[in-house]
Amino acid sequence: MRKNQVAVVGAAETTELGIIPNASQLQLHADAALNAIADAGLKLSDIDGFATAVETPQQVCHYLGIKPTWVDGTSVGGCSFMLHVRHAAAAIEAGLCKTVLITHAESGKSMIGKLPRSIPADSLNGQFEAPYGVYGPPSMFPIPVLRFMKTYGITHEQLASVAVVQREWAAKNPRAMMKDPITVADVLNSRMIAYPFRLLQCCLVTDGGGALILTSADRAKDFPRKPVYIMGTGESVETPMVSQMETFNSSRAFKTAGPLAFKEAGIAHKDVDHLMIYDAFAHLPLFGLGDLGFMPYEETGKFIADGNTRPGGKLPLNTNGGGLSYMHSGMYGMYALQESVRQMRGIAPAQVPNAKISVCHGVGGMFAASGTIVFTNER
């Protein structure tokens, strides 16, 4: 795909984030969509392409009153929206549609109008993982951590520092769920969830949503907001069974999606001003820094513990506070994208001065899937 041919011209989250007891999941989709449409200065009838995950495109399109000529229901977990951005950019370039709306919403905390997740007993996960006591992401996502730590000499304190640094970013963000400062000791003394991870190393559980609007870069200059260009994209999947990953020392999906996006954008790591790495749990930024090639895996824990990713550090990472402190409805990828767009527009609560290139890296379904988007505000 050619770089900078498609731009984000509308971006918004739900009016409220956190605990939203007065709206169903479907209504949260609509709330985010209507906010993004207003942000772009568009009418609903201008939308001719639509993508969403978990909920079906037909469900959300009908509820909103959208009549699309292109839809994408790719649903591979929390990074689905990175894949939607990539697919939408390709569709716009191919002339299949002109203006794409991507929505995410989840009543992750209040559970209103949310389909229950279940694992069929005759699926491979149901036969070969569920009988051993896996029960939700906290019992599955951290399974590779101990091997990763042993291979690369990563310490518990370094993994705790991920949560500490992200809380520093969250403190600057009025919409962040958790803003009080924490220390490494606080993290290591918080309640055990699934050893080696404690409560403060696990994502929040909240309600909310977000939406993006994409169109061609040529049209983007006529919109009210500063366009944010899609500079590079990548995606991949590996396995829905965490036990069947090729290795626990890296993520194959990360190592495929990340470099694809860098190559397409034609950038080097030193060009990256701002970075988002989907942090459902505290190990993901370490996997991301290594798999995306920022540094050897052995250095990732020390890099974060030494403060390089905190406010004022040389590689600002997860500047909204991340899934650990900002919000996490269950499929966090949309909020990482929203923060990248805010940073490129120059309107983030914790704005990185003069940031021109933002890399937004997502993970889905434990390590099942990955999507990476490189954004820029210069064409």
Partner 1 sequence: MAEPQRARPKPTPETQHFWDGTKAGELRLQRCDACAHVYFPPRPFCPSCASRKVSIFKASGKGFLYSYVINHRPAAPGFTPPYAIAVVELDEGPRMMSNIIDCPQTPEALELDMKLEVAFEKLDDKITLPVFRPAKG
Least distance in angstroms from the C-beta of 193 to partner 1:
6
Return the amino acid letter for 307: G
Least distance in angstroms from the C-beta of 196 to partner 1:
7
- By the rule CB under 8 A, 145 interacts with partner 1: yes
**Block residue for tokens 């990472």:** 317
Least distance in angstroms from the C-beta of 24 to partner 1:
24
- By the rule CB under 8 A, 126 interacts with partner 1: yes
Least distance in angstroms from the C-beta of 147 to partner 1:
4
- By the rule CB under 8 A, 188 interacts with partner 1: no
* CA atoms of 370 and 20, how far apart (whole Å): 28
- By the rule CB under 8 A, 124 interacts with partner 1: yes
Q: Specify which residues 237 forms β-bridges with.
A: 369
- By the rule CB under 8 A, 190 interacts with partner 1: no
- By the rule CB under 8 A, 196 interacts with partner 1: yes
Report how far Cα 173 is from the mean position of its chain's Cα atoms.
17
Contacting partner 1 (CB under 8 A), which of 83, 134, 160, 164? 134
- By the rule CB under 8 A, 96 interacts with partner 1: no
Distances (CA, A) of 201 to 226, 296, 323, 329: 35, 22, 10, 16
- By the rule CB under 8 A, 147 interacts with partner 1: yes
Least distance in angstroms from the C-beta of 127 to partner 1:
4
Q: CB 341: neighbour CB atoms within 10 A?
A: 26
Beta pairing, strands 197-198 & 369-376: unpaired
Distances (CA, A) of 356 to 86, 101, 228, 231, 374: 20, 24, 10, 11, 10
- By the rule CB under 8 A, 142 interacts with partner 1: yes
- For the purposes of burial, counting CB atoms within 10 Å of the CB of 222, is it exposed (0-12), middle (13-18) or buried (19 or more)? exposed
- By the rule CB under 8 A, 127 interacts with partner 1: yes
Q: Are 36 and 211 in contact (CB under 8 A)?
A: yes
Contacting partner 1 (CB under 8 A), which of 193, 299, 345, 351? 193
- By the rule CB under 8 A, 119 interacts with partner 1: yes
95 CB-near residues (< 8 Å, 6+ apart):
none
How many residues touch partner 1 (CB under 8 A)? 38
- By the rule CB under 8 A, 143 interacts with partner 1: yes
SS3 305: helix
- By the rule CB under 8 A, 111 interacts with partner 1: no
Contacting partner 1 (CB under 8 A), which of 121, 189, 296, 314? 121
Least distance in angstroms from the C-beta of 156 to partner 1:
10
Q: Which residues bind partner 1 (CB under 8 A)?
A: 119-122, 124, 126-136, 138-140, 142-147, 150, 191-197, 241-244, 248
